[in-house]
Chains A and B, each alone.
Chain A
Amino acid sequence: SQTIHQWPATLVQPVGSPLSLECTVEGTSNPNLYWYRQAAGRGLQLLFYSVGIGQISSEVPQNLSASRPQDRQFILSSKKLLLSDSGFYLCAWTTGVYGYTFGSGTRLTVV
């Protein structure tokens, strides 16, 4: 069966520290992968998407970067976190036939 794993579930990080959030998909090949961020009480904002290994498209200029080192692995990173990076981060995948399947999310608080 197809599953998506996202970790960690919660994270509290000081300003200026690095960040690495990981997302892996099982049970499918060559998925499109996405990172979304949801600020408190707001909608979802697309940050990055990838249609293949090493292919990353950025939607919003920011302090974050993404990488796809393997077909089913998507990583969101930052070298130095800002307070404004706080939020709920969701990874999602699709092969296009059906809609998104979302991960369980990471709640990031930058202090």
Chain B
Amino acid sequence: AQKITQTQPGMFVQEKEAVTLDCTYDTSDQSYGLFWYKQPSSGEMIFLIYQGSYDEQNATEGRYSLNFQKARKSANLVISASQLGDSAMYFCAMRLLSGTYKYIFGTGTRLKVLA
């Protein structure tokens, strides 16, 4: 069965430091996509970064990078130089590349950046 696991319900990080949010996934499909979304208190879902299952290099988007270890089925999000505005809920998601493009979401990690 397909599943996303985020084992850190809450994390604290000091401003300007880096933080890693963990995500492991389970699927028997060979083709899939992994996403990270940020959800501030307003509730909107903001796309951060994407990694395809066939991508050999780790994805990067500004201060965000995805540490993709396919053999371990992990897709951790690394935020460098944390800012106060990074405080939010973070969701890892997996998209199966079938016609329905359904996502499976993890339970999320609440990140608090400390001044």
Contact = CB atoms under 8 A, between A and B. Distances in A.
A100 B105 contact: no
Interface string B95-108: 10001111111111
A27 interface: no
Interface in A3-17: none
Contacts of A100: 35, 45, 47, 103
Where chain A touches its partner, the secondary structure class is strand
B36 to A, nearest CB: 10
B57 to A, nearest CB: 18
Contacts of A102: 44-45
Given A99-B33, A105-B44, A44 B105 contact: yes
Contacts of B44: 102, 104-105
Nearest to A44: B105
Given A99-B33, A99-B95, A43 B106 contact: yes
Interface in B29-66: 33, 35, 42-45, 47, 50
B25 interface: no
A59 B105 CA distance: 14
Interface of A: 32, 34, 36, 42-46, 49, 51, 57, 59, 88, 90, 92, 94, 96, 99-102, 104-105, 107
Closest A-B pairs by Cβ, 9 of them: A102-B45, A43-B107, A44-B105, A105-B43, A43-B105, A96-B101, A94-B101, A32-B101, A99-B35
Interface of B: 33, 35, 42-45, 47, 50, 91, 93, 95, 99-108
